[in-house]
């Protein structure tokens, strides 16, 4: 018990220190967990053997796939079939073939070389999916393609585990008490199993029966079970049921020799249309996050520093070679399957590492004498190093992404602008289109600019003319008539581009009235410094309306709620103007003491102003 509490304290302390620091530095949580493991393991020696803990932590991957399954409807999974079979299958076989050939070229026997190819063909489901989700890249074309390949790899682990024992060159033997010879590999795995000892057709039937049972239970049994639990009115029972589903299905999959991750993913897909989907997701998510974090820490803690120091350049070179070779295969397949630009780089760099299932295959290959201890140790180090490098590859992707134009925008020249108006509207998204409709409906002429061709085409279908091009380009602004316009509405989605547009317009037209869209208060200050006359926070007015509705439904009259809204509105405008003079772009607002002090004082002034306004209204009613 003491040992358990000690390890729990060390792991949690390392996580809560390292992960926020890594996230703040822009390195991502995964690299933070890996570095935390390196510190408490090889660096400080606070934890020793983490293999058993790592097997437990791998259940975080199982939970993650269950949650992903909940977010995928069966129709969406069917739509992925081309990428699952085509892209995923090709990635596995081509990568496996290349690594097998490379291993044979280095002098390994073909059986051992095939095992090495299997191990290195797999990528890290845990790191990649966690990072894609964390960075909001899962719904991109590159993210969906990466997910398809990872799912294909998880499925492929099953036949790999079946094939591996057949590749054993010569399993060692031991002398039994009765004098007979017994292969060690035969006694290495006596675990609970429903298919052990069955003929091939029997094992196949049992396996299919387990899969069908999961599907039927999800379709016909889930809703009555959830309603029964709901009737107990005990929230913790939902958590218990969610864990039971994941743990139970994972255990069933292990009994029939399938991947627990694959089984829970299937269950998630079956339950994706359930009205209890969001409840299940919210109950599982905290456990998933903690177990995944624990898994990453154990990977970092498991790095064998003495082995690495014995031949650092060889091992690091082999790990980089694995990443390079897989990257070349992924880049080529991405091009074949129509990925371009950012999506192609995300797909390539995201999947270029070896993965946690490689640990499973290496362990099994060692037990079945497919790999020697020396080769197995090297492969473990290569897999771990490649996983450790992966967060850096995502940072590289972000650097490349910032330099690339958005591939969703066709590569075509800007339109020739043959019209001029008194109002120029730059950006015709959900904000700019309302401004455009209002101004045009009063008879004033507008010139609309936007860098999204699809948006321009959609506008034209509804009878509104717009011009394609980057509104931050000076030549486009002058062609649109900025030299003679009366008003510029800067309504671009990108805050940096919007600030750049305002600054340029103010520089060339000091007398131009500029109305700018701001994302938040910090953006307001930047636009204020850039020279905007009127700054509109995109959510501010709608939030004020929602606040007024709330006040009307907690006892205030419509008139009182309107007074409170107007008082808040005018006070906030004055507050922003005053705080803008204290705001310093070089100092985060949370660390600007003068800014924080004045913001608190102004918030107290708001309470006084609201109280005074409502009291004045009450006295007026009494006088009447």
CATH no. for residue 315?
1.20.1530.20
Do residue 291 and residue 338 come from a single domain?
A: yes
Instruction: Reply yes or no on whether the pLDDT at 47 is more than 90.
Output: no
Give the model's pLDDT for residue 185.
42
Structure token pair of residue 526: 């930047």
In-domain check, residue 190:
no
- Local confidence band at 180 (pLDDT 50, 70, 90 cut-offs): very low
Choose the weakest-confidence range: 130-139, 166-175, 441-450, 461-470: 166-175
In-domain check, residue 43:
yes
Structure token pair of residue 388: 């450790």
Do residue 427 and residue 305 come from a single domain?
A: no
Give the model's pLDDT for residue 174.
44
Q: What is the percent of the chain where pLDDT is above 70?
A: 88
Structure token pair of residue 385: 């190093």
Choose the weakest-confidence range: 45-54, 292-301, 364-373, 426-435: 45-54
Do residue 499 and residue 533 come from a single domain?
A: yes
Alpha-helical (H) ranges within 448-494 are 453-461, 474-479
Do residue 309 and residue 333 come from a single domain?
A: yes
Give the model's pLDDT for residue 331.
94
In terms of pTM, does the model score above 0.85?
Answer: no
**Domain end call among 522, 537, 552:** 537
In-domain check, residue 139:
yes
Provide DSSP, 522-536: HHHHHHHHHT-SEEE
In-domain check, residue 183:
no
Do residue 507 and residue 585 come from a single domain?
A: no
- Local confidence band at 407 (pLDDT 50, 70, 90 cut-offs): very low
pLDDT digits (tens, 9 = 90+) for 73-94: 666 667 677 777 888 899 999 9
Give the model's pLDDT for residue 462.
75
Do residue 545 and residue 532 come from a single domain?
A: no
- Local confidence band at 172 (pLDDT 50, 70, 90 cut-offs): very low
CA distance 262 to 278: 20
Number of structural domains, the chain?
Answer: 3
pLDDT digits (tens, 9 = 90+) for 447-494: 888 887 777 777 777 777 788 888 888 888 888 888 889 999 999 988
In-domain check, residue 178:
no
Name the residue among 35, 139, 13, 43 with its Cα closest to residue 392. Answer: 35
> How does DSSP classify residue 165?
G
Which of 99 and 573 is assigned the larger pLDDT? 99
Choose the weakest-confidence range: 196-200, 340-344, 421-425, 532-536: 196-200
Burial of 443 (0-12, 13-18, 19+ CB in 10 A): exposed
CA distance 612 to 624: 18
Which of 281 and 570 is assigned the larger pLDDT? 570
Instruction: Reply yes or no on whether the pLDDT at 496 is more than 50.
Output: yes
Instruction: Reply yes or no on whether the pLDDT at 327 is more than 90.
Output: yes
Do residue 343 and residue 418 come from a single domain?
A: no
CA end-to-end span of the chain, whole Å? 75
Token pair 């085509």: residue: 86
Name the residue among 441, 543, 530 with its Cα closest to residue 492. Answer: 530
Give the model's pLDDT for residue 73.
65
Do residue 518 and residue 544 come from a single domain?
A: no
In-domain check, residue 111:
yes
In-domain check, residue 513:
yes
**8-12, 328-332, 586-590, range with greatest mean pLDDT:** 328-332
Give the model's pLDDT for residue 51.
67
Cβ neighbours of residue 338 closer than 8 Å, sequence gap 6 or more: none
Structure token pair of residue 374: 């020396």
pLDDT digits (tens, 9 = 90+) for 31-46: 788 888 888 887 788 8
CA distance 256 to 248: 13
In-domain check, residue 519:
yes
CA distance 561 to 610: 11
CATH no. for residue 510?
3.40.50.720
Give the model's pLDDT for residue 623.
53
Give the model's pLDDT for residue 368.
75
> How does DSSP classify residue 164?
G
Choose the weakest-confidence range: 67-81, 493-507, 559-573: 67-81
Looking at the chain, the number of H-run helices and the number of E-run strands are: 29, 8
The average confidence (pLDDT) of the chain is: 81
Cβ neighbours of residue 534 closer than 8 Å, sequence gap 6 or more: 513, 514, 515, 516
Do residue 142 and residue 216 come from a single domain?
A: yes
Instruction: Reply yes or no on whether the pLDDT at 289 is more than 70.
Output: yes
The dihedral sign for the CA sequence 564, 570, 575, 576: positive
Containing domain of residue 284, as a range?
A: 2-169+197-402
Do residue 453 and residue 482 come from a single domain?
A: yes
Mean pLDDT of 404-424: 60
Mean pLDDT of 114-135: 87
Total residues found in the chain within this entry = 624
Give the model's pLDDT for residue 484.
87
Do residue 211 and residue 316 come from a single domain?
A: yes
Give the model's pLDDT for residue 26.
65
Instruction: Reply yes or no on whether the pLDDT at 158 is more than 80.
Output: no
Do residue 425 and residue 477 come from a single domain?
A: yes
Give the model's pLDDT for residue 190.
46
Choose the weakest-confidence range: 98-102, 276-280, 548-552: 276-280
**Domain end call among 369, 402, 435:** 402
Instruction: Reply yes or no on whether the pLDDT at 409 is more than 50.
Output: no
């Amino acid at each position: 018990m003491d040992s358990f509490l000690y390890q729990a304290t060390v792991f949690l302390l390392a996580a809560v220190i390292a992960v926020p620091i890594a996230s703040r530095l822009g390195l991502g949580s995964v690299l933070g967990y890996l570095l935390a493991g390196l510190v408490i393991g090889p660096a400080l020696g606070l934890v020793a053997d983490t293999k058993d803990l790592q097997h437990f932590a791998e259940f975080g991957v199982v939970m993650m796939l269950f949650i992903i399954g909940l977010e995928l409807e069966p129709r969406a999974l069917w739509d992925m079939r081309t990428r699952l079979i085509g892209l995923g299958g090709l990635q596995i076989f081509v990568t496996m073939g290349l690594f097998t050939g490379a291993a044979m070229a280095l002098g390994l026997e073909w059986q051992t070389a095939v095992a090495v190819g299997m191990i290195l063909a797999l990528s890290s489901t845990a790191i990649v999916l966690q990072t894609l989700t964390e960075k909001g890249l899962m719904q991109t074309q590159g993210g969906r393609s990466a997910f398809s390949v990872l799912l294909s790899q998880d499925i492929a682990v099953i036949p790999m585990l079946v094939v591996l024992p057949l590749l054993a060159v010569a399993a060692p033997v031991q002398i039994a008490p009765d004098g007979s010879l017994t292969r060690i590999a035969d006694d290495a795995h006596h675990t609970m199993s429903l298919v052990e000892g069955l003929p091939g057709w029997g094992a196949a039937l049992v396996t299919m029966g387990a899969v069908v049972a999961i599907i039927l239970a999800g379709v016909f049994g889930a809703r009555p079970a959830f309603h029964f639990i709901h009737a107990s009115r005990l929230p913790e029972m939902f958590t218990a049921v969610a864990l039971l589903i994941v743990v139970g299905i994972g255990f069933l999959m292990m009994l029939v020799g399938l991947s627990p991750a694959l089984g829970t993913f299937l269950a998630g897909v079956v339950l994706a249309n359930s009205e209890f989907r969001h409840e299940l997701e919210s109950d599982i998510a905290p456990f998933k996050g903690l177990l995944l974090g624990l898994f990453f820490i154990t990977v970092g803690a498991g790095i064998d520093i003495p082995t690495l120091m014995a031949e650092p350049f060889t091992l690091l070179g082999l790990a980089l070679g694995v990443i390079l070779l897989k990257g070349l295969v992924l880049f080529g397949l991405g091009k074949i399957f129509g990925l371009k630009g950012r999506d192609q780089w995300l797909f390539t760099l995201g999947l270029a590492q070896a993965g946690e299932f490689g640990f499973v295959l290496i362990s099994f290959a060692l037990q079945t004498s497919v790999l020697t201890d020396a080769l197995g140790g090297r492969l473990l180090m290569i897999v771990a190093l490649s996983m450790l490098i992966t967060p850096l590859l995502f940072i590289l992707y972000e650097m490349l992404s910032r330099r690339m134009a958005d591939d969703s925008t066709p590569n075509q020249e800007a339109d020739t602008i043959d019209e001029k108006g008194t109002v120029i509207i730059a950006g015709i998204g959900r904000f700019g289109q309302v401004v455009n409709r209002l101004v045009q409906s009063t008879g004033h002429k507008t010139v609309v600019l936007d860098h999204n061709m699809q948006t321009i085409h959609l506008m034209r279908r509804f009878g509104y003319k717009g011009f394609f091009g980057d509104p931050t380009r000076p030549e486009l602004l002058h062609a649109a008539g900025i030299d003679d316009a009366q008003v510029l509405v800067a309504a671009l989605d990108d805050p940096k581009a919007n600030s750049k547009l305002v600054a340029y317009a103010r520089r060339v037209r000091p007398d131009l009235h500029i109305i700018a869209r701001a994302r938040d208060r910090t953006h307001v200050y930047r636009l204020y410094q850039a020279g905007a006359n009127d700054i509109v926070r995109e959510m501010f007015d709608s939030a004020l309306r929602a606040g007024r509705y709330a006040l009307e439904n907690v006892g205030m009259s419509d008139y009182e709620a309107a007074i409170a809204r107007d008082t808040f509105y005018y006070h906030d405008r004055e507050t922003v103007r005053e705080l803008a003079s204290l705001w310093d772009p070089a100092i985060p607002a949370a660390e600007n003491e003068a800014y924080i002090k004045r913001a608190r004082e102004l918030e107290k002034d708001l309470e006084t102003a609201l109280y005074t306004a409502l009291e004045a209204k009450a006295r007026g009613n009494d006088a009447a």
